[in-house]
Chain A
Amino acid sequence: MKLTGAEILMECLLEQDVDTVFGYPGGTILYVYDALVKYRGRINHYLTAHEQGASHAADGYARSTGKVGVAFSTSGPGATNLTTGVATAYMDSSPVVFISCNVADSLIGKDSFQEVDSTGVMLPITKCTFQISDVNKLADTVRRAFAIARSGRPGPVFIDILKNVTAETAEYEFVSRKQHKKSGLLDALYDRNMADLHKPSIDEEDIDKLIEMIGESEKPMLICGGGVVRGRAHEEFNTFVNLMDAPTAITVMGGGGMKGRNPLTTGMIGMHGSQASNIGVNECDLLIAVGCRFSDRVALDPASFAKQAKIVHIDIDRSEINKNVHTDHHIVGDAKEVLRMLNEKLSQQDHTEWKKHIFSFPTETKYDEGGDTLNPKQVCDTIARMMPENTIVATDVGQHQMWAIQHFHFDYPGQLITSGGFGTMGFGLGAAIGAKVGNPDTMVIHIAGDGSFRMNCNELTTVEHYHLPIITFVFDNRTLGMVRQWQNLIYKKNFSESDMDRGPDFIKLAEAYGLRGRRVTNQKDLAEAIEEAMACGEGYVIDCMLDIDEMVRPMVGGGSHITDFMKV
């Protein structure tokens, strides 16, 4: 049948089982928004306050559901407003297809109104970009974009459609997702030995070698990375951990990759890792890292990182092997498949002595009780006590993010949604919106700092309009806490431009958006506020007052040896 480009785009989204899109209209994408009306009910569009909010919402939706997220924007500033969200998704391997329209063919390259080379802008922050200037290639390209976004190591793909293409007509024929492999451009792509579309086949010999190494090891240590989460390999990983009977550290991105309350976990690793994790890495004789890229926040000093141990790296992305840390053995493959193969061959190990040693070090930070203000652990503990165990937690970036990850226990992939790689302040509220839309029956909370919340609190309007009962907890210390912490420890208390001694009043702000909120300074008030928030069934802001000099502990300085804990 003959359809317009905009309608073909809608049909292609339906082919991919997309029923949710986040976005913001504008001049060049109006034909697409025009077509949306015809597809209402099958494709639900969520209008955000800002394109950045839409980009984070699509990302949060993808991370929490495991499906591909979709965001729309117009050309020029619409597309550039997406970029922070695109880069955030890219750094954390989140599958999102970003769709923007550009000026018409006749205006391209003329510095037209709201024109920017958006595919050029997106190039370094996506797996792939496409500009579509021929309506006959539209369906094929959209199919290809989705296949690339979700396969291999997932990630964002950007599609730029020229405005005239959305209005022109072409023949469209429904092709089911199963048939996509055999259609058009994808056919050629699959025919090639493309690492991105094919799951790498796992070498049996590599598995056997690792089993042998495990047999020889007396002090093994495991790392649960983001690849376990993206690969939804949590069950296999849990089995592996239990069979290994080894202490297991969790990276920021690995939260939810194993049961957070598994007694074998040593908690977070790296710059704000627990003593047990960091000392474990430094004393083990075999380190097996699954889906972790040894970033500078984990392997702080790559040269000395686990130097005494044999390092084994399991990752789906071949380019991660030996990129940051030199490894002794590696297995390239999907975490779920590799772990399943390992579990089949692995006999139950016993490392009682080694465990006793490692778990003699703290896995969690202790805080002093009392004072006029709440401490971070009290806030986290109260939330954890009162809210369902499966609550999805979306965070912003900074101290509150580290506290949330240190003190909450995440049990399944998608329960923790946080910007680990790109460290995007302002990510949390949009991400929480996406997570709530994708998981309407699960409690979703947003953990923010006062700095991060100020950045994108405009999305409270989206929370209110769509009646999304998201509770925002602001860890409010009236400062950019992490910046102040560094200034405290490294920059000789020279608190340059980090004080947030200014408005707005977050409670009045919530009210302005038609929501309720409450400021709390002690656990009793906090508990009451949480009760009220859960009962109201709408968005709610809880402003938790913390001490301005509260710090994230422990801390190892950037580039330092992993056990060089600072005096904090």
Chain B
Amino acid sequence: MKGIFSVLVENRDGVLSAVSGLFARRGFNIDTLAVGETENHEISSMTITSTGDQRTIDQIEKQLNKNVDVIKVRRLSESKSVCLEMMLIKVSCTLANRAALIDLCKMMGANVLKVAPKYMLLEYHAHPDSVEDFIQAMKIYGIIEIQRTGTIAMQK
């Protein structure tokens, strides 16, 4: 099963390493990890997604709660929260198929940031599943480079 954790942590040295290290030490998977400051610059927010059986996901929550620098752990359910991921993707294209690619981007809601003779640079943000779909769709054209932010999530 999938676990989505929204974690508020103290914004100080070593906290990111403590949290990511916890996953490594205890053999938990990190699928994605996104970190940023909150409105209070002393507090950061992390969204961590992980996969594992029920017991593992429960353990992750308990172990996160044990960390002194963790202020609050919230487990989000996919149905009751908004999950979003942003991606920058460089796709190769030629003069011949450029128009088709632009049409596809329009249809899917991706933004064209740069058009070069041999490639296009696109920005796409959506639910992580849609991001996966978009990547599949781009494979036909040939993917040169991808940068993904990882999932960020918030309870509705």
Residues of A in contact with B (beta carbons under 8 Å apart): 119-120, 123-124, 127-129, 131, 148, 189, 192, 194-196, 317-319, 321-323, 326
- Nearest residue (CB) in A for B67 is A128
Bound-state Cα–Cα, A119 to B12, Å? 13
Known: A119-B14, A319-B63. A127 touches B25 (CB 8 A): no
Bound-state Cα–Cα, A250 to B17, Å? 37
Cross-chain contact A196 with B72 (CB below 8 angstroms)? no
Which residue of A131, A192, A194, A321 has the most chain B CB atoms within 10 A of its CB atom? A194
Chain B hits for A326, CB < 8 A: 55
Chain A hits for B55, CB < 8 A: 322, 326
Does B21 reach chain A (CB closer than 8 Å)? yes
Bound-state Cα–Cα, A131 to B13, Å? 9
Cross-chain contact B66 with A196 (CB below 8 angstroms)? yes
Kindly provide the distance from the CB of A188 to the nearest chain B CB, expressed in whole angstroms. Answer: 9
Kindly provide the distance from the CB of B63 to the nearest chain A CB, expressed in whole angstroms. Answer: 5
Cross-chain contact A319 with B65 (CB below 8 angstroms)? yes
Does B123 reach chain A (CB closer than 8 Å)? no
Cross-chain contact B68 with A323 (CB below 8 angstroms)? no
Cross-chain contact A120 with B14 (CB below 8 angstroms)? yes
Does B62 reach chain A (CB closer than 8 Å)? yes
Does B82 reach chain A (CB closer than 8 Å)? no
Cross-chain contact A323 with B59 (CB below 8 angstroms)? yes
Chain B hits for A129, CB < 8 A: 14
Kindly provide the distance from the CB of B56 to the nearest chain A CB, expressed in whole angstroms. Answer: 10
Chain A hits for B62, CB < 8 A: 318-319, 321
- Nearest residue (CB) in A for B69 is A128
8 closest Cβ pairs, A-B complex: A319-B62, A128-B68, A318-B62, A319-B63, A124-B25, A319-B66, A192-B71, A148-B68
6 extra interchain contacts, Cβ-Cβ under 8 A, other than A128-B69, A148-B68, A318-B66?
A: A119-B14, A120-B14, A124-B21, A195-B65, A195-B66, A319-B66
Give the dominant DSSP class at B's interface: helix
Known: A319-B63, A323-B59. A123 touches B17 (CB 8 A): yes
Does B58 reach chain A (CB closer than 8 Å)? yes
Which residue of B17, B63, B65, B68 has the most chain A CB atoms within 10 A of its CB atom? B68
A–B Cβ pairs within 8 angstroms, 25 of them: A120-B14, A120-B17, A123-B14, A123-B18, A123-B21, A124-B25, A127-B68, A128-B68, A129-B14, A148-B68, A189-B68, A192-B72, A195-B65, A196-B66, A196-B68, A317-B66, A318-B62, A318-B65, A318-B66, A319-B59, A319-B62, A319-B65, A322-B58, A323-B59, A326-B55
Chain B hits for A317, CB < 8 A: 66
- Nearest residue (CB) in B for A152 is B66
Mark B46-64 against chain A: 1 for CB-CB distance below 8 A, else 0: 0000000001001100110
- Nearest residue (CB) in A for B24 is A124
Kindly provide the distance from the CB of B19 to the nearest chain A CB, expressed in whole angstroms. Answer: 11
- Nearest residue (CB) in A for B72 is A192
Kindly provide the distance from the CB of A370 to the nearest chain B CB, expressed in whole angstroms. Answer: 50
Kindly provide the distance from the CB of A405 to the nearest chain B CB, expressed in whole angstroms. Answer: 29
Kindly provide the distance from the CB of A313 to the nearest chain B CB, expressed in whole angstroms. Answer: 13
Kindly provide the distance from the CB of B88 to the nearest chain A CB, expressed in whole angstroms. Answer: 31
Bound-state Cα–Cα, A326 to B13, Å? 36
Chain B hits for A128, CB < 8 A: 68-69
Bound-state Cα–Cα, A319 to B22, Å? 13
Which residue of B58, B59, B66 has the most chain A CB atoms within 10 A of its CB atom? B66
Bound-state Cα–Cα, A194 to B71, Å? 8
Bound-state Cα–Cα, A196 to B62, Å? 12
Kindly provide the distance from the CB of B17 to the nearest chain A CB, expressed in whole angstroms. Answer: 7
Cross-chain contact B13 with A194 (CB below 8 angstroms)? no
Kindly provide the distance from the CB of B121 to the nearest chain A CB, expressed in whole angstroms. Answer: 35
Chain B hits for A192, CB < 8 A: 71-72
Bound-state Cα–Cα, A196 to B25, Å? 20
- Nearest residue (CB) in A for B13 is A131
Chain B hits for A196, CB < 8 A: 66, 68
Bound-state Cα–Cα, A128 to B9, Å? 14
Bound-state Cα–Cα, A148 to B21, Å? 20
Chain A hits for B71, CB < 8 A: 192
Bound-state Cα–Cα, A318 to B61, Å? 10
Bound-state Cα–Cα, A192 to B63, Å? 17
Kindly provide the distance from the CB of B42 to the nearest chain A CB, expressed in whole angstroms. Answer: 9
Bound-state Cα–Cα, A166 to B108, Å? 60
Bound-state Cα–Cα, A319 to B58, Å? 9
Chain A hits for B18, CB < 8 A: 123
Mark B65-87 against chain A: 1 for CB-CB distance below 8 A, else 0: 11011011000000000000000
